[in-house]
Amino acid sequence: MGSILSGAEAASLVRALPGVDAVGLEARAAGLSTRSVKTTSKAWAIDLAISMIDLTTLEGADTPGKVRSLAAKALRPDGDAPSTAAVCVYPSMVAVAKEALAGSGVLVASVATGFPAGQVPLDVRLADTESAVRAGADEIDMVINRGAFLAGDLERVFHEIKAVKAAAGDARLKVILETGELATYDDVRRASWLAMYAGADFIKTSTGKVGVNATLPVTLLMMQAVRDYRALTGVQVGVKPAGGIRNTKDAIKYLVTVNETLGDDWLRNEWFRFGASSLLNDLLMQRQKLKTGHYSGPDYVTVD
Amino acid sequence: MSDRLRVKKTYKLYVGGKFPRSESGRSYPVASPDGTELANAALASRKDARDAVAAARNAQRPWAGQTAYLRGQILYRAAEMLEGRAGQFAEELADATGADPHEALGTVEQAIDRLVHYAGWTDKYTSVLGGANPVAGPYFNHTTPEPLGVVAVVAPQDDPLLGLIDAIAPAIATGNTVVVLASESKPLPALSLGEVLATSDLPGGVVNLLSGKTAEVAPHLASHADVNGLDLRGVADADLAASLEAAAAETLKVVRRPGKDGNALDLLRQWTEYKTVWHPAGMAAGAGGAY
Amino acid sequence: MFEYAPAPESVRPQIKEHYGLFIGGEFVDAEHVFKSINPSTEEVLFTVAEASEADVARAVAAARKAQETVWGPMSGTERGKYLFRIARLLQEKAREFAVAESMDNGKPIKETRDFDVPTAAQHFFYHAGWADKLAYAGLGADPKPLGVVGQVIPWNFPLLMLAWKIAPALACGNTVVLKPAETTPLTALMFAELCQEADLPPGVVNILTGAGTTGSALVDSAVDKVAFTGSTAVGRAIAKAVAGSKKKVTLELGGKAANIVFDDAPIDQAVEGIVNGIFFNQGHVCCAGSRLLVQESVAEEVLARLKERVSLLRVGDPLDKNTDVGAINSAEQLERITALTEAGRGEGAEVWQPACDLPENGFWFRPTVFTGVQQSMRIAQEEIFGPVLSVLTFRTPDEAIAKANNTPYGLSAGVWTEKGSKILWAAERLRAGVVWANTFNQFDAASPFGGLKESGYGREGGRQGLEAYLDV
């Protein structure tokens, strides 16, 4: 869906957003973290979390072999465990992933736009996006221009997201805010709205490549933004925390937060994802524990 | 010269910055300890007490809202005015108490110095009594003393000037306004003090002075729902003090019982209440949150 | 649907079948006994002795002896070490105390575990440190204890109120006779056992269980000071009872706090603050934000979000770790809440409650939001002491302050705005002992707490709280 706003309008709306009280936000996130999820509800949550993972490899050392191994894991993580939502790779690996996952329903997501810094000219970022889509990417994970955002050039950020959205065509667009670089909750909220006004299908916290990645308060704040955006426009936008979510306990905290902030409408992998790599094995080990009654170990899940 | 008829002073109440007679139209004779008739003083009624409380209430917020520096300057100005009329007050005090004129002048000078002392407190007691509190969480937390509001004072019976200043000064220095029931038998210095205060830039209603019968007026002040504090140091009769305290309990007024003196800080604290304000202290995202 | 399975707390405290009075370091029996029930099930938890006037006299005598012979003469350093020891023991037994409190009071384990018990321990730790530093408290070079203190506490935070009372009293060199509330004596009695374990000298802490008559006997006894937390009606009676005596008194009474939300507030956090303000501890909180004053221009948005949020509150088994709102403490309190809520309906306010199932046994009340409330209605004036929020609107900042202050109470207030100067402006004008700006219901041992006007006098906590227990 194209934005009906001009860049100036979007920028001015975003600047007028009310502030966020950091302590209150963190207190709410901490409160949600105290939820205790046991037995049947835990089993349900673990499978849901598995199905929401964008199983990710984003390394210079990525090879077709590595990506095929990851794709196999995404398809059949362990026994009767559900598939993950997608695998997430660099554009150069999209074709390999696409072939490995052909006909499976597991999607291929690709980071593009000069990931992770985005510090390349816009035409290069657009070409990057188009090439990923041509190679078969179902979803594009773009990074916003943090430099322009922090310099106050919100209109430029808005126009760039719109341009990438156009370049992505039918692929769903996840807009990475890189919240660790935006530094304040007020800016995270502004960036969330700016991305949504520009046509984001998902807003995503992080690249996983900076010091601070997804945190529960930041993700909660982004959830509040998509909730409010739908209330205002009728358009539903997804949320994807990425980086730093490594174990089942953390994943369940996020799901509890989705449950109590957004509700059922977002409790599906169409609207909520985890950008993660090591999380999957921890979920699988916990899954085994629930089935067998004893704790599992790393040798009982596959290294991919 | 000696044939000249002396112009005698009419001692009236001091309420809301004005000098009314009692609305009841009553007065009572005031004599010195040796029986010499001195003057007639207005005999305040419960309605005068009510008017005085209303005047004090109206004046309270603006008075508390003045800067501490300005409150200090006004108290200092009152000391200046009193200094200028020290002779008159010494005479009135000597008449009222039977003290010798030299001793009375010494007491007036003490009263002046006491006012100066409290003038210097106005911009200090909040930092002495209050402060920042190191709470175990991401909050700025700060405690500051605030005025109680309207304080009713039964002034000391036998120390009609210095004792009066000791009752009034700490209460108004901290932003309260007062309704004072002057010494029943020795009200004249208090009523004259009203003239000093009226010419000291002290806003009308900050200090209200009533003369009359303690047992008649004090119960109406003690039970008045719009009075926040009650100073009973001037109540000599223990039974009356107990009944006034019990009446004050109806609206949970802060009461200072008879017979207890204190240093200046103690008196300043008496008519203040602590307010503690909390505010979150935190801004940056990405600290990992509290989880 | 993401349904949370039951998550019951597994620790169980050792609750005796019967508890006596704790006098002079020992448990002694009394003529009459009464039962303490679990308000979430109505099951009897244990029986407990009811202290008579004679028992009160004995306890005060034991406290007097301990004060004059042991505790008063003891150095501050040594007194402090006892209090540190108590703080540590409370931390060690935190979970047992938390579960016991939840069972006896009906409040959720989440709150007793994360708030009541840790904050109680903090109060002992904080005041322990004062015991040898009283000369630096700004209350004179050599402040003296008052002697024996009679303390009467309410049922809403049984252990925490005990800590607020006992810790500063002991730190200042006083000994105490404390009466816990009739419906929630358990943690006070467990605390008495803890005092034994800490080898606290006999008579320094005495715990007398009983009802109102025990309380008034304590007020009338030969104590030097009365400290009370509870209703304004009882506080008024105590102030009258001590009139003309030499007994010092501090009172922490009722409230009807306004929680003011301006149009420039951080709305999501304000909604959290509103919820925490009135539904924390089932609204059994004297400083609860029971009157929401919301600026008319954002009222609709705030109310919509508030209702959404309140719908998420989980009401039920207090020992389930996911329970947000537990049981009402007693049948009597439930009756009062119900009656005032009915009055609210009768006066034309619009009532809203989330759909939620309530357990069959026990005392329960759904979180309730009244809209269209006018200042003149009883639900805007009277303390309900339950999970019932009255929502009023205002147009201008001046009107907000005027409405907020338009009450005989003056305990607490809340203000929500992103504008710093407006916070300071409002905080200065609000007639309340505690003002929470962009937060609500925060408590700390280092922060003085207490009210103005008919909410009482005296402070608890912080340096200023020491005044209540020293002869200054």
Q: How confident is the model at residue B287 (pLDDT cuts 50, 70, 90)?
A: very low
Same domain assignment for residues C180 and C42: yes
- Nearest by CB: B289 against A30, A180, A183: A30
Residues in chain A closer than 8 A to B281 (CB atoms): 23
Interchain pair A25, C322: CB under 8 A: no
Share of chain A above pLDDT 90, in %: 97
- Nearest by CB: C439 against B273, B275, B278: B278
- Identify the CATH number of the domain in which residue C28 sits: 3.40.605.10
Same domain assignment for residues C169 and C305: no
Residues in chain A closer than 8 A to B285 (CB atoms): 22, 179, 182-185, 187-188, 215, 217-218, 221
Residue range B82-116, pLDDT digits in tens: 999 999 999 999 999 999 999 999 999 999 999 99
Average pLDDT over residues C283-296: 97
Partners of C32 in beta bridges: C50
C252 touches chain B (CB under 8 A): no
- Nearest by CB: B285 against A27, A30, A217: A217
Q: Report the gap between the CA of B289 and the closest CA in chain A (Å).
A: 5
Same domain assignment for residues C248 and C262: no
- Nearest by CB: A29 against B139, B280, B291: B291
Residue B288 has pLDDT above 90, yes or no: no
Residue range A47-74, pLDDT digits in tens: 999 999 999 999 999 999 999 999 999 9
Phi, psi dihedrals of residue B90, rounded to the nearest 5°: -60, -40
Q: How confident is the model at residue C60 (pLDDT cuts 50, 70, 90)?
A: very high
Interchain pair C269, A24: CB under 8 A: yes
The tokens describing B181, both together, are: 């029931």
Same domain assignment for residues C157 and C94: yes
Same domain assignment for residues C237 and C353: no
Residue identified by tokens 């009226």 is: B198
Return the CATH number of the domain spanning residue range B37-280. Answer: 3.40.605.10
Residues in chain C closer than 8 A to A44 (CB atoms): 2
Residue C77 has pLDDT above 90, yes or no: yes
Residue of C nearest to B132 (CA): C447
* Structural domains of chain A in order of their starting residue, each with its CATH number: 18-292 (3.20.20.70)
CA torsion, ordered B45, B48, B53, B58, to nearest 10 deg:
170
Q: What are the residue numbers of the active site of A?
A: 141, 204, 240
C108 touches chain A (CB under 8 A): no
Q: Report the gap between the CA of A255 and the closest CA in chain C (Å).
A: 9
A218 touches chain B (CB under 8 A): yes
C267 touches chain A (CB under 8 A): yes
Task: Name which of C273, C351, C342 is nearest C305 in CA terms.
Answer: C273
**Complex ipTM value:** 0.96
Residue of C nearest to A37 (CA): C4
Q: Which chains touch A (3 or more CB pairs under 8 A)?
A: B, C
Same domain assignment for residues C247 and C264: no
Q: Which chains touch B (3 or more CB pairs under 8 A)?
A: A, C
- Nearest by CB: B289 against A29, A180, A182: A29
Residue C327 has pLDDT above 80, yes or no: yes
Average pLDDT over residues C342-353: 97
Kindly state the helix (H) or strand (E) to which residue B10 belongs, with its residue range.
none
Residue C85 has pLDDT above 70, yes or no: yes
pLDDT number for residue B93: 97
Residue range A139-149, pLDDT digits in tens: 999 999 999 99
Q: What is the 3-state secondary structure (H, E, C) of chain C?
A: CCCCCCCECCCCCCCCCEECEEECCEEECCCEEEEEEECCCCEEEEEEEECCHHHHHHHHHHHHHHHHHHHCCCCHHHHHHHHHHHHHHHHHCHHHHHHHHHHHHCCCHHHHHHHHHHHHHHHHHHHHHHCCCHHHCCCCCCCEECCEEEEECCCCCHHHHHHHHHHHHHHCCCEEEEECCCCCCHHHHHHHHHHHHCCCCCCCEEECCCCHHHHHHHHHCCCCEEEEECCHHHHHHHHHHCCCCCCEEEEECCCCCEEEECCCCCHHHHHHHHHHHHHHHHHCCCCCCCEEEEEHHHHHHHHHHHHHHHHCCCECCCCECCCCECCCCCHHHHHHHHHHHHHHHHCCCEEECCCCCCCCCCCCCCCEEEECCCCCCHHHHCCCCCCEEEEEEECCHHHHHHHHHCCCCCCEEEEECCCHHHHHHHHHHCCCCEEEECCCCCCCCCCCECCCHHHEECCECHHHHHHHHEEC
| Residue A9 neighbours by CB under 8 Å, 6+ apart | none
Residue-averaged pLDDT of chain C:
97
Interatomic CA distance for residues C380 and C374, integer angstroms: 7
Same domain assignment for residues C231 and C308: no
Share of chain C above pLDDT 90, in %: 99
Residues in chain A closer than 8 A to C312 (CB atoms): 260
Residue B1 has pLDDT above 70, yes or no: no
Note which residues in 295-314 of chain C have CB less than 8 A from chain A: 312
Please report, for chain B, the start and end positions of each structural domain, with discontinuous segments joined by +: 37-280
Asked whether residue C114 is domain-assigned, the answer is: yes
Residue of C nearest to A46 (CA): C2
Q: How confident is the model at residue B289 (pLDDT cuts 50, 70, 90)?
A: very low
Residue B286 has pLDDT above 50, yes or no: no
Interchain pair A24, B280: CB under 8 A: yes
pLDDT number for residue C135: 96
Average pLDDT over residues C10-37: 97
pLDDT number for residue B3: 86
Residue A119 has pLDDT above 50, yes or no: yes
Residue C346 has pLDDT above 60, yes or no: yes
Coil, strand, or helix at residue B275? Answer: strand
- Nearest by CB: A36 against C1, C267, C322: C322
pLDDT number for residue B284: 59
Interatomic CA distance for residues C379 and C392, integer angstroms: 11
Interchain pair C322, A20: CB under 8 A: no
Q: Which chains touch C (3 or more CB pairs under 8 A)?
A: A, B
Interchain pair B291, A253: CB under 8 A: yes
Strands C26-28 and C21-23: antiparallel
Q: Which range of residues forms the domain containing residue C421?
A: 258-437
pLDDT number for residue C472: 84
Residue range C162-205, pLDDT digits in tens: 999 999 999 999 999 999 999 999 999 999 999 999 999 999 99
Q: How many residues does chain B have?
A: 291
Interatomic CA distance for residues C287 and C440, integer angstroms: 9
Residue B290 has pLDDT above 80, yes or no: no
CA torsion, ordered C442, C447, C448, C449, to nearest 10 deg:
10
- Nearest by CB: C273 against A20, A24, A267: A24
Task: Name which of B109, B139, B95, B110 is nearest B278 in CA terms.
Answer: B139
Q: How confident is the model at residue C230 (pLDDT cuts 50, 70, 90)?
A: very high
Partners of B275 in beta bridges: B144
Interchain pair C447, B241: CB under 8 A: no
pLDDT number for residue A304: 81
Q: How confident is the model at residue A229 (pLDDT cuts 50, 70, 90)?
A: very high
Selecting among C101, C182, C252, C454, the annotated active-site residue is C252
Chain B residues interacting with chain C (CB cutoff of 8 angstroms) = 128-129, 131, 133-137, 139, 141, 143, 148, 228, 238-239, 241-243, 245-246, 248-252, 254, 262, 265-266, 269, 273-280
Same domain assignment for residues C271 and C216: no
Selecting among C195, C286, C382, C467, the annotated active-site residue is C286
C422 touches chain A (CB under 8 A): no
Domain total in chain C: 2
C259 touches chain B (CB under 8 A): no
pLDDT number for residue B285: 57
CA atoms within 13 A on the CB side of B284: 7
Asked whether residue C12 is domain-assigned, the answer is: no
Query: Higher model confidence: residue B8 or residue A193?
Result: A193
Residues in chain C closer than 8 A to A267 (CB atoms): 2
Residue identified by tokens 């000599």 is: B236
Mutation pick from A41, A230, A266 vs chain C, by most beta carbons of C within 10 Å, is A41
Asked whether residue C228 is domain-assigned, the answer is: yes
Asked whether residue C444 is domain-assigned, the answer is: no
Phi, psi dihedrals of residue B78, rounded to the nearest 5°: -60, -40
C268 touches chain A (CB under 8 A): yes
pLDDT number for residue B291: 28
Coil, strand, or helix at residue A193? Answer: helix
Residue of C nearest to B232 (CA): C244
Residues in chain A closer than 8 A to C305 (CB atoms): none
C6 touches chain A (CB under 8 A): yes
A35 touches chain B (CB under 8 A): no
C1 touches chain A (CB under 8 A): yes
pLDDT number for residue B259: 81
Q: Report the gap between the CA of A6 and the closest CA in chain B (Å).
A: 29
Residue C316 has pLDDT above 50, yes or no: yes
Q: Which long-range contacts (CB under 8 A, 24 or more apart) does C338-344 make?
A: C338/C365, C340/C378, C340/C379, C340/C382, C340/C384, C340/C386, C340/C388, C341/C368, C341/C379, C341/C384, C341/C388, C343/C377, C343/C378, C343/C379, C344/C370, C344/C373, C344/C377, C344/C378, C344/C379, C344/C388, C344/C390
Instruction: Give residue B174's identity as a one-letter amino acid code.
Output: T
Interatomic CA distance for residues C470 and A156, integer angstroms: 66
Same domain assignment for residues C290 and C345: yes
Interchain pair A215, B281: CB under 8 A: no
Interchain pair B252, C453: CB under 8 A: yes
Same domain assignment for residues C263 and C310: yes
Residue range B164-188, pLDDT digits in tens: 999 999 999 999 999 999 999 999 9
Interatomic CA distance for residues A208 and A275, integer angstroms: 8
pLDDT number for residue C289: 97
Residue B163 has pLDDT above 80, yes or no: yes
Average pLDDT over residues C61-86: 98
Residues in chain C closer than 8 A to B265 (CB atoms): 138
Q: How confident is the model at residue C274 (pLDDT cuts 50, 70, 90)?
A: very high
Same domain assignment for residues C249 and C274: no
CA torsion, ordered A77, A81, A85, A86, to nearest 10 deg:
10
Q: How confident is the model at residue A13 (pLDDT cuts 50, 70, 90)?
A: very high
pLDDT number for residue A2: 55
Residue range B192-212, pLDDT digits in tens: 999 999 999 999 999 999 999
Same domain assignment for residues C225 and C309: no
Beta-carbon pairs below 8 A across chains A and B? 57
